[in-house]
Amino acid sequence: MLVLGIESTCDETACAIVKDGKTILSNIVSSQIDLHNEFGGVVPELACRRHVDVMIPVIDAAIKEANVSIEDIDLFAVAHGPGLIGALLIGLHAAKGLALALNKPFIGVNHVEAHLYAALMSNQEEVVFPCLGVVLSGGHTALVLMHSNDQCTLISQTVDDAIGEAFDKVAKLLGLPYPGGPEIEKLARQGNPLKYPFKSGNVKGRPLDFSFSGLKTSVLYSIQGQNCRDQPISLPYNDLCDVAASFQYVAVNDIIKKTIAAANQYHCNSIVFGGGVTNNQYLRDRFSEKAGHLKQFWPTLGLSLDNAAMIAGLGYHIYSRKQVGDMLDLEAMTRIPFASG
Ligand code: KG4
Ligand code: ZN
């Protein structure tokens, strides 16, 4: 079965063609980093306009690279949430239009669940369900119990900032470009992770939940003092590296500690990782060190950031289970809650 997937939830316009949920025939991503960099974050209105401009060329490129014809596509899958409303609408309408014109089924996919499926697509070995899913992206941080490729229940999540958002905000404080995650990782390689004793956030009565906004504020206070203003500060290079390393050390340890606790509590022997922050090599190395007893499924670097291959791949499984596509009145959803565990 050939599935064409479309992704436009935030600042990447992407289209991919995937065979039977796993074989990637093409995976085109048009990034908007250049557009948003000067504003230090994603500007929704600009993101939407860029999606409109590049959506059709990106779809054309995916079809060309896969060396198929649009008539060969059996199913159109699209990320219909969560994300920016205007951005979502562009991808959703493109998928609906294609499905309608070609008289083929279309299916809406949860972008966050697709991030987890990206790790399963990336590995030849099959995971044993139920397993623990760890979502570490710019918009979400959550632990979920995965019952199958496309069904999971929420165990815990962040009560404030997502982990990627925390990386981006700390990077902004340090005057680094957007997106800040990779910049922090780069600086941290040369820094002392024990220089600043930052504290990770805990949520009273909910030991598996995350909180990163306090960590960000403690970084701010320690570099600018209590009466600081929320704007970039210029530090000597060595200090920048130490702040980045200390922040990353605390954030990563917090995620590892809660992930291992959840794996024990829910009797999971395998962990599936998803989201852009899984690009972080320090995070991967620390997990192998501290959770070597658990089988780990990581996305390849090409599938960890936003992409449409994961949307097409998960779309295949949803459609195979339901045996029917979604109605054409499916709506874009800025938030899609996980089913509560
Ligand atoms: O999953 P993603 O592409 O988009 C969302 O669905 O949110 O994740 C983007 C996030 C950004 O916050 C970015 O800073 C972060 O992933 N990120 C990283 C790294 N590469 C990307 N964070 C830490 N270390 C990295 N190497
Ligand atoms: Zn994402």
Instruction: Give the domain CATH number at 18.
Output: 3.30.420.40
Whether residue 33 is found in the same domain as residue 177: no
Whole-number Å distance between alpha carbons of 86 and 140? 19
Q: Which atom of ligand 1 is nearest to the CA of 279?
A: 26
**What does the pLDDT read at residue 231?**
66
Residues 103 and 147 in one domain: no
- For position 185, what pLDDT does the model report? 98
CA nearest to 251, candidates 287, 205, 294 = 287
The amino acid that residue 63 corresponds to is I
Kindly report the number of other CB atoms within 10 A of residue 216's CB atom.
23
Reference 129, options 144, 147, 152; nearest CA is 147
Statement to judge: residues 69 and 139 lie in one domain: no
**Contacts of range 57-61, beta carbons closer than 8 Å, 24 or more positions apart:** 57/30, 58/13, 58/14, 58/15, 58/28, 58/30, 59/4, 59/6, 59/15, 59/94, 59/98, 61/15, 61/26, 61/28
User: How many whole angstroms from 91 Cα to the centroid of ligand 2?
Assistant: 14
Give the separation between CA 230 and CA 213, rounded to whole angstroms. 13
- Does ligand 1 have an atom closer than 6 angstroms to the CB of 299? no
Does residue 337 belong to any structural domain of this protein?
no
| Atom from ligand 1 closest to the CA of residue 111 | 6
> pLDDT tens digits for the chain (341 residues)?
999 999 999 999 999 999 999 999 999 999 998 999 888 889 999 999 999 999 999 999 999 999 999 999 999 999 999 999 999 999 999 999 999 999 999 999 999 999 999 999 999 999 999 999 999 999 999 999 999 999 999 999 999 999 999 999 999 999 999 899 999 999 999 999 999 999 999 999 999 999 999 999 999 988 887 666 666 677 899 999 999 999 999 999 999 999 999 999 999 999 999 999 999 999 999 999 999 999 999 999 999 999 999 999 999 999 999 999 999 999 999 999 876 54
Instruction: Tell how strand 151-157 and strand 141-148 pair up.
Output: antiparallel
Residue 214 inside a domain? The answer is: yes
146: which residues sit within 8 A by CB, 6+ positions away? 116, 127, 129, 130, 131, 132, 133, 152, 272
Ligand 1 pocket test target in 187, 305, 335, 336 with most atoms within 8 Å of CB? 305
Residue 211 lies in a domain: yes
Question: Which two structure tokens, joined as six digits, stand for 285?
Answer: 């190395």
Give bridge partners of residue 3 from the DSSP assignment.
18, 75
- Report the DSSP beta bridge partners of residue 43: none
- Nearest atom in ligand 1 to the alpha carbon of residue 178 is 14
Domain tally, the chain: 2
Q: Are 166 and 283 found together in one domain? A: yes
Whether 336 is in a domain gets the answer no
Q: How far apart are CA 24 and CA 46, in angstroms?
A: 30
Q: What is the pLDDT of residue 341?
A: 46
Residues 284 and 156 in one domain: yes
Q: Which ligand sits closest to the CA of 140?
A: 1
What is the model's pTM? 0.96
Please count the residues of the chain: 341
Q: Is the CB of 179 under 6 A from ligand 1?
A: yes
Residues 61 and 131 in one domain: no
Q: What pLDDT is stored for residue 330 in this prediction?
A: 97
Same domain? 146 vs 253: yes
Gap between the Cα atoms of 175 and 217, Å rounded: 15
Do residue 58 and residue 110 come from a single domain? yes
189 and 41 in a common domain: no
In a domain, 332, yes or no: no
**12 touches ligand 1 (CB under 6 Å):** no
Query: Ligand 1: does its nearest atom lie under 6 Å from the Cβ of 191?
Result: no
Which residue, 278, 270, 274, 273, is CA-closest to 295? 270
User: In terms of domains, do 272 and 133 share one?
Assistant: yes
> Is residue 329, in this structure, part of any structural domain at all?
no
User: What pLDDT digit, counting tens, does each position of 306-340 carry?
Assistant: 999 999 999 999 999 999 999 999 999 999 987 65
- Asked whether residue 61 is domain-assigned, the answer is yes
Give the structural domain span for 93. Answer: 2-116+303-322
Tokens representing 292 are: 């070597």
Say whether both 94 and 138 belong to one domain.
no
Report whether residue 83 contacts ligand 1, using a CB cutoff of 6 Å: no
Residue 335, domain member (yes or no): no
CA atoms within 13 A on the CB side of 158: 25
Burial (CB count within 10 angstroms: exposed 0-12, middle 13-18, buried 19+), residue 204: exposed
Ligand 2 center to 141 CA (angstroms): 11
Do both 312 and 169 map to the same domain? no
